[in-house]
Structures are given as structure tokens and as C-alpha cells.
Structure 1
């Protein structure tokens, strides 16, 4: 026995509505809030990703960030957590370093992060604070670092937290995936 037309129409409409709802929910969950980590609450600020810098001589320079400011610490960028690292090699010579984040401030697509070097093969750099600035513009990201004028992180004695230089270096084409979550402090 065939179901009446109006009953089949209702069943089809309810099925379609359920599919649309499930699809919308799945899309929302998949896209997420750009600043959420796991639980769905937006973190106060973040800088993540990695990239190689462009140098005409062929230097191999890579920076990687995993810096976060939790929502509960919105008013205190000195409570940022995470790490960042970099390496710089040319013709087999160079160094690498890893730092523990001690400050993160972001605004729009610009982030300034600082940290103390915890591990490195650069003599005299361990325990030194460094700062890095990233401009996340998608294609054409830029980066700057506190030791730009001195030539080495070893030379940046007594650097205050959250100090970096203008992002003057260019990211090599196709290598960058920096992501900045803008800070919105309660003012």
C-alpha cells in the first residue's frame, strides 16, 4: 500500500531538513572559531605556523611558532605560553635555537612574541631573551627579529619582553603558513 503523497512529502522535507542541519553543524565545527583551541572558547591571542625566509644567497632560514595567550589571561600578555624556534644555515654553517614564550601581543595580522632561549647550539645564546615580529598577510608574509641590528641573538642583552623589529624579511614563496589570532584586550 502506498503512503499518501502529503505523508511522503513531509518525510522527505524532514529528511532534507535533518541533512541540511547536519551539514551546517558539521561545517561550523570544521571551520571553528579562528582562535579556538579544542574546547571551542576563543583564545585571547595566538601566533602559529612556520616558514622559510627568502635570501638571494640561498640561506636556509626557518622560523616556527606555537605561541598562545589563553582567554582567561586576556589582560596579561606576559602569561602567554608556548615555544618558537628558528635555524639559519648557509653552506653547512649556522645555528638553531628554541625559546620559551614569555610575552605575546597581537593586533590585526601582526604579532610580536618574545621568549628566552632554552636550547641552542649557538654559543652564548642560551638564557638570552629574543623577540620576533610577524606580519601575516597570506602570500607575502614578513618577519623581523630583535637581533637584526646586532647580527646575533647573543648581542641582545637585557631585551625587554615583547620587543621585536619591524617585519623586514620576506617569506619564501609558498613556504609560509603563519596564523595570527588578534588580541582584543578589555580596555
Structure 2
């Protein structure tokens, strides 16, 4: 008799745990039990490789909410970069995200420079491309062929091919692929 009671208690406990777990997933997702994920994202930090030893760092925190899946122009967040030569000369800039498009492990993010210590670039529109290879990531930027930040009126979500290599051991980029609804 005592063994039956213990078995019933164990079975009842397991059923309660399973029920509570399933209910928690349904409540957390708000979508009939299916977890809601972002429509797209680009996050992480890495340093670029340069033979001369320049200190170049890029950081991303860009997101497209699930509710905005069909409009990458509703992306939010920021991205930041700095470039300092071995002699200490250089600067930094921060941009507010205005577009994010991802496909597989590649992301293109653009934004307007909102804060910087560089002369004459505040308000410029810039774009950056990241390829999250899972090994040595790659990165490109819209001002690659220009001595300054490029044209102030660059269209949204425009950048260059990811031609720069990220310094080994520094990249932790994460790209969440976009799945447009068309």
C-alpha cells in the first residue's frame, strides 16, 4: 500500500510539472505556445585586423521586432565604432539605427551618426555589412572608398561588401536571419 501511494505521488508530481511547464511556455510566448523571436538582429563586438596595429572596434546592438517583420526601416538600436592609429590619432562615432536587413549570416545595418568626436560627420548617414562566419568574421562599411564618412545622403540599408577581416579571437557577432512575409 505504501509503495502505491509513493508511485501515485510521483506520477501526480510529474504531471503537475509537465502542465506547469507547458503553461509557462504558452504564457511566455503569447502565441499559442510558439516562442516569438525577433524578426532580425545584429549584435556583438569585434576588432578589425590591421598589420600596422591600428585599434579598430565595431559594436552593434540592432534589432527588428517581430511585429515589424515586413518593414526593416522600423529597426531600432545603435552601432558604434572607433579607429585609433598606433600613434593614438583617430576618433569614434555612434549611429542610431534606421534600417536592418539580414540574410543567413550576413547583415546590413544603416543609421545616422548622432555622437562623435570627429569633425564634420555628425548627421551623416552610414552603412555597415557584417558576415558572421562563425570563425573569422568579416565587415565592410559604406565609407570604404572615401576619405571621410562618404555622402551625407547615403540611402538606408546601403553598405559595401564585407572585405575587412575581424581580428581572430575578438568577434562575437550574432546575426538573426530575417524571414520577410512576402
Q: TM-score range by the shorter chain?
A: 0.7 to 0.9
RMSD, aligned α-carbons:
2.6
**Structure 2 residues not aligned, in runs of 5+:** 30-34
**Residues 63-142 of structure 1 mapped to structure 2, 5 A cutoff:** 63-91=58-86, 92-142=88-138
Tell whether the 8 Å contact from 2:123 to 2:152 is kept in structure 1 after alignment. no
What is the alpha-carbon distance in structure 1 between the residues aligned to residue 166 and residue 19 of structure 2? 41
Deviations 1:113-138 (A, max 9, x none): 00111111111111111100011122
Post-superposition offset of 1:80: 1.1
Select 2:8's aligned residue among 10, 13, 25: 10
The equivalent of 1:185 in structure 2 is 180
What TM-score does the superposition give when structure 1 sets the normalisation length? 0.82
5+ unaligned residues in a row in structure 1: which ranges? 34-39
Contact 1:146 1:156 in 2 (8 A): no
**Could you say if the C-alpha distance between residues 22 and 60 of structure 1 is closer, same or farther in structure 2, counting changes exceeding 3 Å?**
farther
Helix, strand or coil: the match of 2:10?
helix
**1:17: how far off?**
5.9
Partner SS state of residue 6, structure 2: helix
For the structure 1 residues 143 and 20, does the alpha-carbon distance in structure 2 shift closer, same or farther, using more than 3 Å as the test? same
1:51 aligns with 2:46: yes
The alpha-carbon distance between structure 1 residues 121 and 170, as it changes in their structure 2 partners (threshold 3 A), is same
**Is the partner of 1:72 in helix, strand or coil?**
helix
Contact 1:47 1:178 in 2 (8 A): yes
Aligned residues: 175
The CA distance in 2 between the partners of 1:133 and 1:146, in whole Å, is 8
Instruction: Call closer, same or farther: CA 1:22–1:80 in 2, change over 3 Å.
Output: same
